[in-house]
Structure 1
Amino acid sequence: MDVSVYRPGELTAADRAAWTALQSRAVEDGSPQLANPFLAPEFALAVGRCRRGARIAVVREDGEPAAFFPFQRTPLGVGRAIGLGVSDAQGLVHRPGFQWDSRELLHACGLSLWEFDHLVEGQKPFEGAASGAYASPVIDVDQGFERYLAALRKQSPKFTRTTLAKERRLGRDAGAVRYVHDERDPAVLRALIAWKSAQYRRTGRSDRFARPWISQLVEQLFHTRTESFAGLLSVLYAGGRPVAAHFGLRSRTVLACWFPAYDPAFAKYSPGLVLHVRMAQGAAADGVAYLDLGRGGKAYKDSLKTRELSVFEGWVTRRHPVALGHRARRAPVRALRNTVLARPEFFEPADRLLKRMGRLRAGG
């Protein structure tokens, strides 16, 4: 296996173009999951500017790039999916029919282990090491928004009726409702981050935006725009005021949903749900095939989705003491978290406790 490993900034323009070309042909090549923007070179390069240890392995066949494998590496050789913790699609971007040996690839990258939690489908050499598969709901809009809305009315009639009625009520009470699919005002991005941070704290969750590298990453991606990739800020306004917003990533065919939030002062209008319906409309008009709502079961995702993809979690390991130690430390934590999330009798009490802690923290 001919593998060269680069820091993100060392990747040549020719290799970046080859990577983008593989993604652009992914649908035609029968691997639409590889078109996800989290698998794009722009995402890997942005993470590389914010995190140490980011690397990109380029696998060549007959001197030409056949596959790209972005990852993060510790000094001890522990590997993680690039952007692990905020990346919703992970894996190796490759030519049709490309085959690889996972342990041989790890050895060439200087890794004793590679950890993933959103491995996309079709990565069979990695899937064999997965500890579990999880649903990632999507909204298909490749047949147009009207077709999706008709399906939504049939699938979730009460949800659709209520959401559209709340949008009309929002317009009556707060002023004309306006949707901007691609907002370029950084002040609105700052408002979204403030809402999301407050939501994390209010619900007792860890505030991702308290980590400087995540805030830096989002800001960089907001300003990243190419023909095949963009950081996309979508905003719902009422009376000229932003009431809900979402920041995600867009490739030619996929809008990856990432950070949605709304102004709590407008909570009774469910502006986040209204926003998602408008996002589906905007994505359809933009030529996107589907919106990926991301791993995890939530009521609003179940109401909006048209189908589900699968993503995988686990570790690929070589025979190495560092790999054994890392896995022994991480496996119980992951298993406990997944058990709580999967079983309502555990999740609901835990969720109530976190929210109570969040209220106490806010009161303090």
Structure 2
Amino acid sequence: MNISIVRPGELGDSERSRWRALQKADPSLDNPFLSVEFAVAMDRLRDYVRVAVVHDGDSIAGFFPYERHSFGIGKPLGGFLTTCHGLISAPELKIDTKALLRAAKLSVFDFDHMVAGQPTFAAFETDVRPAPIMDLTAGFDSWLEQVKANSPKNLKTVRYKERKLGREQGQLRFEYASPDPAVLRTLLNWKSDQYRRTGRVDRFAQPWIVELIDLMHAERSDDFAGVLTMLYAGDVPVAGHFGLRTATTLVGWFPAYDTEFARYSPGIVHHLQMAEHAAKAGLHAVDMGKGGKEYKDWLKSGVLYVAEGRVSRPSATAAVHWIGRTPVNKARTIVLARPSLYKVADRVLKGFGRVRTTLQSDSPPDTVVKEPSGAR
């Protein structure tokens, strides 16, 4: 095998077609973050994006998109923004991992949402976690029966709040795949407010991330698209979501709601309606991503598996990277895997968010309240 390194934007039409064909041939790769369109968009915005093209004789056997940072530090494409990464190839393909790193000029590659069980990386997996999905292959009604079985009380409560929202605030209307950029801005403003309230760093304070979302929102093809959904009460937007889809899978990315309507649980009401419209649109699954909120356990009707791990070549850079990153990764994994710890961490971050909001409101207009390093 021969490995060449290019930027995704340099791939020709035949190479992009080959990427799509390999992705469609393996159900475990049915995730838009593994699509060539996402790699090309990232390449337009960030200089460190690369793809290793694996040649087997005259044919292309696989593609490995990644980020190459200073000192040969390798990261998954999209890093903290994404919920899945891996090698796009036939399921049985196994590449010499150290040779792959040499060709990519990487000292180390750290992953935390790798498609589990890929032969090239399986030996380097240190932890495998479930990512809950809404399985819609048997239709919306079948999925809803599973949700009811998971917790009849929760479903009854949400349906009651849904009716109450419509009765008190105006007839409910759901818009699927909205093309309106103004609606997208409403959603992103809600999400920024949520980040600040809960003590997280506002991702949309980085202009390139907003530009990436705009690029994704403009994508409209059978195999890949950005999907903006919005729930309205009367003419007022109350909850929405922006995610990416392949031909059959929608991946959760940025859900948010207007806190003025929090008493109606609009986020969960929105998710129920989003599942119904996704099923009508012919999608087979909504991937909610690993870890996080309890509502995922209630809404799930299946799981996928993603892995954490690390590949390195002997070097001083790899050693320093291990010292700096491994304890942090292990701590994050432990917190996400234990609901009790996640709740404590969430409360601490929300407390910080309240303090930060107070400081910002009390500060003179030209005063900047800095984020603590490492805040997520």
Tell me if both proteins adopt one fold, taking TM over 0.5 as the criterion: yes
Asked whether the 8 Å contact 2:229–2:274 carries over to 1, the reply is yes
Of stretches 90-99 and 121-130 in structure 1, the one that deviates more from structure 2 is 121-130
The answer as to 2:54 corresponding to 1:59 is yes
Q: Percent identity?
A: 47
By how many angstroms is 1:96 displaced? 4.0
User: SS at the partner of 1:59?
Assistant: strand
The 5 A counterparts of 1:135-284 are 135-284=130-279
- Tell me the alpha carbon deviations over residues 110-141 of structure 1, each in whole angstroms, 9 at most, x when there is no partner: 11111111101231321321222222100100
What's the CA shift for 1:143?
0.6
Q: Is the 8 A contact 1:56 1:69 kept in 2?
A: yes
SS for the counterpart of 2:356 is helix
Q: Which runs of 5+ in 1 are unaligned?
A: 27-31
Structure 1 residue ranges, 4+ long, deviating more than 6 angstroms after superposition = none
SS of equivalent residue, structure 1 residue 139: strand
2:7 — aligned with what? 7
Q: How far has the Cα of 1:344 moved from its partner?
A: 4.8
Partners of 1:239 and 1:258 lie apart in 2 by: 26
In structure 2, how many angstroms separate the alpha carbons of the residues matched to 1:351 and 1:87?
Answer: 20
Q: How many residues align?
A: 359
Tell me which residue corresponds to 2:369. Answer: none
Cα distance, 1:164 vs. partner?
1.4
Is residue 283 of structure 2 the alignment partner of residue 288 of structure 1?
Answer: yes
Distance in 1 between residues matched to 2:249 and 2:229, nearest whole Å: 15
**Deviates further, 335-344 or 182-191:** 335-344
Q: What residue in structure 2 maps to residue 29 of structure 1?
A: none
User: Which string of whole-angstrom CA distances, capped at 9 and with x for unpartnered residues, describes residues 85-108 of structure 1?
Assistant: 011110001024322121111111
Please give the secondary structure, in 2, of the residue aligned with 1:228.
coil
AA aligned to 1:25 is A
Unaligned stretches of 5+ residues in structure 2: 360-376
Question: How far is the alpha carbon of 1:309 from its aligned partner?
Answer: 1.6
Partner of 2:17: 17
1:203 Cα deviation (Å)? Answer: 0.8
Measured in 1, the distance between the counterparts of 2:5 and 2:127 equals 29
Q: Please state if 1:354 is matched with 2:349.
A: yes
Q: Which deviates more, 96-105 or 267-276? A: 96-105
1:334 deviation in Å?
1.6
Equivalent position amino acid for 2:18 in 1: A
Residue deviations 1:6-34 (CA, integer Å, cap 9, x gap): 112111111001111122222xxxxx120
Q: Is the contact between residue 135 and residue 297 of structure 1 (CA under 8 Å) also seen in structure 2? A: no
TM-score of the superposed pair, with normalisation by structure 1: 0.95
Pair 344,277 (structure 1): closer, same or farther in 2 beyond 3 Å: closer
Q: What does residue 331 of structure 2 align with? A: 336
More displaced stretch, 352-361 vs 190-199: 352-361
